[in-house]
Amino acid sequence: LDVRAEQGLTQAEARRRLAIHGANALRTSKRRSDWSILIDQFRNLLTLLLAVATALSIGMGEIAEGAAIIAVILFNGVIGFIAERKAVASIEALRRLGTTTTKVRRDGAVGTLPAEDLVPGDIILLGAGDVVTADARLVTASGLQCDESLLTGESAPVAKSPQPVAEDAILAERSCMVFKGASVSRGSAEAVVVSTGGTTELGRISKLVEEAEDEVTPLEKRLARMSRQLIWVALAIAAIVLAVGLASGRDAVLMLKTGIALAVAAIPEGLPIVATLALSRGMWRLARRNALVERLSAVETLGAVTVIFTDKTGTLTENRMTVTELSTPGGRAAFTEAEADLSSVDPGLAGRAAHVLALCVSAELRAGQSAAEIGDPMERALVQAAGKLGVAIEAGAQIGEEAFDPQSRMMAALHRNDAGLLITVKGAPEAVLERAEFIAQGAGDRPIADADRAEWLEATRQLAAEGRRVLALADRRAEAADGDPYQGLSFLGLVALEDPPRGDAREAVEAAQRAGIRVVMITGDNAVTGAAIARAVGLTDEDDIAVVEGKELCRPDDMSDADRRRYLETRVFARVSPEQKLDLISLYQQAGEIVAMTGDGVNDAPALKKADIGVAMGLRGTQIAREASDIVLKDDAFASIIAAVRQGRVIFRNIRSFVFY
């Protein structure tokens, strides 16, 4: 990239590269114009059939008949236009567009620039709370962790380091890279921009969205098929009447007029109005249930859905970390949303652990305790747990910090309180247990034994198998502020965290299954977490869920019949890329399924567009996901999808009854 990190690009070189590579911006789909919405109301075979009938009626002198059919066509178009125009306006209000800035070093000085002006070779500076504005390779990093859930589906922040990774590492494992659209949850870094605009990972996904073909809805397919059949019926009637009349010696002109009149009469002019009124009513009812529908026909499509592909993070879960339990050598404390149950744990050990939870946090969180967006979501959850145990983040003055290191997999903080200096440590259980020299006891700490380490490692494995993230806690009293903070530690126990299922997710999943709809989870998270959430929300009652990971998925051209059967029977897919989501949707559609796809991340956008019906989240959803969808849920509730399915089925029954009539 021909740049020195300590100097950065010159302004002249940056302008030259901007002219070559273009602005660091993604293409966004154009807003549907009012004219386009109006034209779409008349772009179907049945309307064309009515137009032909109008011309024939007027040609035969039946002016009143022709005028009536014209009124039908216009009335139908106006109703559809009003309904869809209102929905488009509501969805546009959700698309928040803003100018993002980023810190850049150019000509040896650090300044702030609009993200659109970044070029390959720029040196960017990142800190907690920043949004990454281009794909970049890390040059230096201190305790850096990034939230990449919108790109990968990984619910927990990812530790980053400048150390190289394997050339074929999947996106979620490229720890030396930061990607456009991700956010920095803690730490700081310098990185060199390697890709901007459409060449970033985010841009590549945007291109997939553009290439994914919109699916024709089941209602549109049925009405188009019926319209073709009606054309042949009308022509057959006209031909038969004309032939019979001529054969019986009737006047040829009279028979021609009679045949045309009967053919026009065979066309159900009222059908478009009934269909549009039914769909419009459904659209308005769904809007009151926080579901915004962009296309009328999408309402009915939900009623025909046989499979719902759902993302995990933010759709079935709340997309936030929360502590579920604290296990100490003196017992276990369980946590609820409101409090901690301390009836089965030694109060002294629980108090020591609570001080680690409250004090061993990043400087960013301590500096902005009230700001929800500051700091690692996991650390915020730990501080909240400490509060339930009666210890606040302000307890003790922090006089030193050892930032989290991906190599040691631990962090430490040094505090001064009334009892002197206290070192608090948290990190990966394997790392903390390896460095611990003592194990905490109610009556005094004792030396830790190999059997103790084995016992706590087994407890870690059991918690991880339940899909939880596990951290170990330790502390020690210190005489001085210098020295190795990880020496002479006393092991205090384990704390387990999870991204909890949404409160209404299980009920909604069960309602879908009762309605004969299969719910399949497709997540970028790991297989263990995916299986645990699947059990929690009732996707399956199996203890040992068969999860298919992305690395196991075959390309469509390489799939055997056995592979297809296996994928069609699988309930959980993990570590799946955006391209693989498209392949799975195509596989199910080829098997005759009507597929709905829910999601909120950028990585979900191509699949949202490819599915028969795309359902995006309005609160947590990204702009690109909302643009690719047919329906946007303002409350992000999976239960709203089931309400929409129910409404769609009612609409379909009403339209079918009228068609039969």
Residues designated as active site: 311
Which residue, chain included where needed, has tokens 């499509």? Answer: 301
Separation of alpha carbons 170 and 655, rounded Å: 47
Question: Under 8 Å CB-to-CB from 586, ≥6 apart: which residues?
Answer: 556, 610
- Half-sphere exposure (Cβ direction) of 19: Cα atoms closer than 13 Å: 5
Q: Burial level of 567, CB count in 10 A (0-12/13-18/19+)?
A: buried
Separation of alpha carbons 281 and 162, rounded Å: 56
DSSP state of 131: B
Question: Under 8 Å CB-to-CB from 559, ≥6 apart: which residues?
Answer: 567, 587
Separation of alpha carbons 287 and 82, rounded Å: 14
Give residue 257's identity as a one-letter amino acid code: K
| 108 φψ region: left (φ > 0), alpha (ψ -120 to 50), beta (else) | left
| 314 φψ region: left (φ > 0), alpha (ψ -120 to 50), beta (else) | left
Distinct helix (H) and strand (E) counts, the chain: 22, 25
Strands 572-574 and 518-522: parallel
Q: Which two tokens stand for residue 627?
A: 């643009």
Question: Under 8 Å CB-to-CB from 420, ≥6 apart: which residues?
Answer: 477, 478
Contact 412, 476 (CB under 8 A): no
- Give the N- to C-terminal CA distance of the chain in Å, as an integer: 70
| Length of the chain counted residue by residue | 661
Q: Which two tokens stand for residue 497?
A: 């965290």
Which residue, chain included where needed, has tokens 């990204």? Answer: 622
Q: Which two tokens stand for residue 513?
A: 């299954």
Q: Which two tokens stand for residue 531?
A: 């299986």
Give residue 588's identity as a one-letter amino acid code: Y
The 10 Å CB-count burial string (b at 16+, else e) for 364-374 is bbbeeeeeeeb
Alpha helices in 120-161 (DSSP H): 149-152
Question: Under 8 Å CB-to-CB from 68, ≥6 apart: which residues?
Answer: 269
DSSP state of 484: -
Residue 152: CB atoms within 10 A of its CB come to 28
Contact 422, 414 (CB under 8 A): yes
Separation of alpha carbons 279 and 79, rounded Å: 10
Backbone angles phi, psi at 174, to 5 degrees: -85, 75
Strands 109-114 and 613-617: unpaired
